[in-house]
Every structure is written in C-alpha cells, then in structure tokens.
Amino acid sequence: MAEKRLARAPLEDLSAWSTDRLLHELQVHQIELEMQNEALRQSQLILEESRDRYLDLYEFAPVGYLTLTASGLIGEINLTGAALLGAERKKLLQRRFDRYVAAADLNEWQRRFVHTLQHGGHLNHELRLQRDDEAIINVRLDSRLIQSGDAAPTLRVTLTDITGPMQALAELRAGEDRLRLAKTAAGLGIFDRDIASGRLEWDEQAREIWGVGPDEKVGYDTFMAGVHPDDRAATSAAIGRALDPGGSGAFQAEYRVVSRTDGSIREVAANGQGIFADGRAIRFVGTLRDISAQKHLEKVLQMNRNEMDILVNHQVAAQTAAALAHELNQPLVAISAYSEAALRMLRCGSKRTPEKLARALEGAMEQAQRAGRTLHQLLDFLHKGDVALAPVDLNSLILEAIAATEACGYGEFRPVVDLEPGLPLVQANLLQVKKVLINLLCNGVEAMRNTGMATTAITISVHTHAERNMAQVTVQDSGPGLSEERLARIFEPFFTTKHEGIGLGLTISRALIEAHGGQLWAELSPTAGARFHFTLPFAP
C-alpha cells in the first residue's frame, strides 16, 4: 500500500514528504509484508497437514490401493495393499499383479483386465489372491480406467479383504446344511408365527404334513383347520398357555393333522417357545415332527405286549388251576370215598351202621377241612408281597391312570374327567387301585374297538358318599354297553366277552377293591356304554 501511495505521488510532490513520513510508510509496508508471509506460512502448514492426513488415509486405509500399468505392472501401492499381498512395498513396485492371482481365478482376471483396458468402465468382482507366504485370501476388487492426455492409461484398483466374511458365510452355509440334514433326518418341520401381523411361516416339511402348496400363503386359520376336530380345543389351549406372559412360554403337544391333499391323518409332536417383549407375546416359533410311524409301532408293540400278557395270564391261570387240582384232588377223593361208604351203610341198614356211619362222616369232614386249609394256604401264598395301605390322593391317582392307559397303547379315547375338588384322601394301595382303573379304561377302549365304532369319550367321575365315609368312582365308556345276561355274569371267573381274554381281569379287580373294604359293581347305563362303580374308604 505504501508503494502504491508512493507511486501515485507526483515527483514534484516527493520533496514535500518529510523524512519521518517516509520512514513511517516504510514501516507500514514492512508490517504488511510480514503479515502476508505469516499467512503464507500458515497456508503451507495447513497444506502439509492435509497432505500428511491424506498420506495417512492412503497408506493405512482399511483397503488396499494400487495402480496397474497397461502391461499389468504394479505402479503404486499403499501399505495396506502390500500387507494384503504379504510383501514389502518396494519389492512389489513394477512386479506383475497377476502373479498374486490364484491359479483357479487367473484366466478370468486376465480376461476382465484386458476388457477394461480396451473398453474402459468399471470392473468389480471377487477373486482369490495367493500371497508370498502361500496363504490364500479372498478379496473384492474394484477398478477404474484412468486416462490423462497422451499418458499411457492406468488402472486404479481397490482391494477389500473379505476372507473373514467369506469364511463366516461358508460356516453359516455349512451350519445351515447340517441343520437341514438334521431336520430332514429327524423329519422336523419349522414354524414361525408373528403375533402382531398374523404372518405364519412354514417350511416344506410342515407344508407337506398339512397338504399346503409351496407358494400358498398360510395363517393361523390354515394351521387350526388342519388339526383334527377332536384335538383342536386341547391344542388351542396349549398354545394359549405358551403365549401367556405369566408362563414360561414353553409349548409341547401331540395332536393329529388331517392332510388337505388326501385326507390322511398324521400324528404330530410339536415343540415351541413363545417370545415376549414389553410383557406381551410377539413371536411363536418351534418345530413339528411327524410321529405317525412311531405311534403305529407303539400300537403294534402294545398289541404284542397285550398278546404276551394274555399268554402269561393263561399260563398263570393254568398253573393256578393245576396247583388247586393237585392240592385238592386227594381230599376230594377221600371225601367221595367216605361219602360213598356212608351211603352204602345207610342202604344196608346194618346194626353197626351208626358207629361206622359216624366214622365215615367224620372222615369226610376231616378231608373237607383239609381241603379248606390247603386252599387257604395256597391263597395266602399267592397274596404274599401285598403292599400296605396308605392315604392316597384319588384325584391325582385317576389322572395318573389315564396317562398310563394312553402310554400302553389305548390313547385313542377322549377322557372326560369330573373330579371332586377338595376330596379327602382315601385309604388304599396306590398300585392296586391304579391297576383296577387301568383295567376298566382298557376294557372300555376294547369294547369300542371290537364293535368297529370310533373310540370316543370315556367319562371318569368322583363323588363322596358322606354317610358311608366312602369315595365313589364311576367309569363309563361309549361302547355298546352290557346286556342283562352279561351283567349277571360279568364278575364270574373265566367269563369274558372279548375274543382274546381269560375273564379274570374284573374278578381280580373286584377282589382287590373288596380287600380295601370297598365294592366294585356294574350296572346298565340309561345311555350307550357300560358303567362301572367302585368305592374306597377315606383315610382315618
């Protein structure tokens, strides 16, 4: 500014300027120059810092940067790129890049490289590189052709190491393959229900069980429509408990599914878990397993077991009868002989007949008493090992008996239970009373089976006889019922209405209940089915 002012001053006016003023102008000029130099230095520092930051970003970037000449030589490369190739940067310069491309990918790389040089554009693909230490890495390569004036074209390349993600993806796929194999081997289907939207996802196994097409949309209505009508209420209740925020969220149930394709019935075991957020259920996920073959095998095994039980019962009955015959034969023969002798004496009318007749009758009496003692000894032997009576929760015992009956292959009936809340404990042998209940339930199922009718409900009810201090249990099936003739003989030993049976089940059951101080009887039902009752005394 001082120079400008001096330049504008006319020469004839310079003489008018004093020495002091000239010195002042020169000082101002010097200060302005120093300020300009300081600004220049600050700009240089900023430029150097920017350059350093750029170099740091370039050298230590998370991706590798390099340039390739038209002949495929490495012109520039940052430290990250050198680390990816496993070599020092100075050794990599002017070295061919394709020497690091894995042999399996080399032809594809060279084809893409030449195409980019000839046609320009952007090259983006994945390939494998083999480092100097022979290690193989997976990279994603992004490149673009750069041309500047008459200079030879170069390829600017970015390398991103994707070895970790590729390994993770490979492990994920391997895990999915293992899961798919395990799921297929186990016959598992997968379900995933979004509670808010109502969306329901099924895999191919679940769709196959329900007879639903692969592209067909499914919902909760689709699921419930496929469940057997007799199982819907119990299944819906189990799902409701799983989705109750106050519960554990666990779901486990077995039910039947009627295929929409051919109407076939499948037995299904389901396991699931409710997922909650903010105190409400948001998802319901789990697995389905077709257990039809397993259930069929269980029924076959149970039939074989029942046949074996029948055979054993026959053998036991035969052995018991043989033992009775052996032990009673001699006293019965003696009784017959004494009786025949007494009869002859009475017919002959001999004077000594009274004395002889008395001895004959005494002999017959002694043999009869011997037979009675023998019979009681045999019965005592057969009853050895009986478990003592104890207070028992009859309501719980009935539920256990139902579960045991279903586990024995008689689970096709629908139990209708009418228990009495707060029922006092009964004095009973738990195992023996459970055996009686199981026998009555199995008889009901077999009665429905033998008539060819669908096995439906069996009602088990309990109520109190306060005046007798007894609990009464009633078991009624939905079978053909009993005729008056059969009712009169139903508890006779060896009387049976079954095709395969020895007729001792009800006889033994009545004996067990009577040994408890109770009674077991049957009656004609005003509706269909047979009705049995038994009583047990309350515990003191």
482 pLDDT above the threshold of 90: no
Q: Do 381 and 443 touch, CB atoms closer than 8 A?
A: no
One-character DSSP codes across 331-397: HHHHHHHHHHHHHHHHHHT-TTHHHHHHHHHHHHHHHHHHHHHHHHHHHHHHTTTPPPPEEE-HHHH
Q: Which of 264, 270, 272, 263 is nearest to 296 (CA)?
A: 264
Q: Do 492 and 481 touch, CB atoms closer than 8 A?
A: no
Q: Do 513 and 436 touch, CB atoms closer than 8 A?
A: yes
Q: How confident is the model at residue 2 (pLDDT cuts 50, 70, 90)?
A: very low
Predicted pLDDT of residue 251:
87
Exposure string over 459-485, b if 16+ CB within 10 A, otherwise e: bbbbeeeeeeebbbbbbbbbbebbeee
Distance spanning both ends of the chain, measured CA to CA:
124
Q: How confident is the model at residue 535 (pLDDT cuts 50, 70, 90)?
A: very high
Per-residue pLDDT tens over the stretch 70-108: 888 998 888 888 888 888 888 888 899 999 999 989 999
Distance CA 157, CA 144 (A): 7
Predicted pLDDT of residue 297:
77
354 pLDDT above the threshold of 90: no
Per-residue pLDDT tens over the stretch 212-241: 888 888 888 889 999 999 888 888 888 988
Per-residue pLDDT tens over the stretch 103-128: 989 999 888 888 888 887 777 888 89
Radius of gyration of the chain (CA): 50
Q: Is the dihedral of CA 357, 359, 362, 367 positive or negative?
A: negative
Q: What does the block give as tokens for 273?
A: 């878990």
Distance CA 49, CA 142 (A): 29
* Predicted TM-score of the model (pTM): 0.40
3-state secondary structure 173-184: HHHHHHHHHHHH
477 pLDDT above the threshold of 70: yes
The number of beta carbons lying within 10 Å of the beta carbon of residue 154 is 19
Q: Which of 487, 472, 496, 498 is nearest to 523 (CA)?
A: 487
Predicted pLDDT of residue 54:
53
Q: What percent of the chain has pLDDT over 70?
A: 76
Alpha helix (H) residue ranges in 60-102: 79-85, 89-92
Q: What are phi and psi of 385, to 5 degrees?
A: 90, 5
Per-residue pLDDT tens over the stretch 294-303: 877 777 766 6
Q: What does the block give as tokens for 348?
A: 């002959």
Predicted pLDDT of residue 534:
94
* Average pLDDT over every residue of 466-486: 84
Q: Do 345 and 356 touch, CB atoms closer than 8 A?
A: yes
Distance CA 207, CA 211 (A): 6
Q: How confident is the model at residue 181 (pLDDT cuts 50, 70, 90)?
A: low
* Bridge partner list, 215: none
197 pLDDT above the threshold of 90: no
Please tell me whether residue 67 adopts helix, strand or coil conformation: strand
Exposure string over 120-148, b if 16+ CB within 10 A, otherwise e: eeebeeebbbbeeeeeebbbbbebebeee
Predicted pLDDT of residue 1:
47
The number of beta carbons lying within 10 Å of the beta carbon of residue 514 is 12
Angle between helices 430-450 and 394-405 (to 10 degrees): 40
Distance CA 395, CA 464 (A): 12
Q: Do 58 and 75 touch, CB atoms closer than 8 A?
A: no
The number of beta carbons lying within 10 Å of the beta carbon of residue 166 is 16
Q: Which of 372, 427, 369, 434 is nearest to 397 (CA)?
A: 434
Measured CA to CA in angstroms, residue 523 lies from 302, 404, 526 at distances of: 30, 26, 9
Measured CA to CA in angstroms, residue 370 lies from 265, 322, 336, 380, 521 at distances of: 62, 18, 14, 15, 33
Predicted pLDDT of residue 143:
84
Domains (range + CATH), the chain: 2-58 (no CATH), 64-167 (3.30.450.20), 187-290 (3.30.450.20), 295-382 (1.10.287), 390-537 (3.30.565.10)
* Bridge partner list, 255: 268
Please tell me whether residue 38 adopts helix, strand or coil conformation: helix
Long-range Cβ contact pairs of 371-375 (< 8 A, separation 24 or more): 371/328, 371/331, 371/332, 371/335, 374/327, 374/328, 374/331, 375/324, 375/327, 375/328
Average pLDDT along the chain: 79
Q: What does the block give as tokens for 435?
A: 């055996």
33 pLDDT above the threshold of 90: no
Please tell me whether residue 138 adopts helix, strand or coil conformation: strand
- Listed range (347-361, 451-465, 514-528) with the worst mean pLDDT: 347-361
20 Cβ contact list (under 8 Å, min separation 6): none
Q: Which of 522, 519, 525 is nearest to 537 (CA)?
A: 519
Q: Do 538 and 428 touch, CB atoms closer than 8 A?
A: no
Q: Is the dihedral of CA 173, 176, 182, 187 positive or negative?
A: negative
* Average pLDDT over every residue of 463-474: 87
* 489 vs 154, more confident: 154
Q: Which of 477, 475, 511 is nearest to 493 (CA)?
A: 511
405 pLDDT above the threshold of 70: yes
Distance CA 298, CA 287 (A): 22
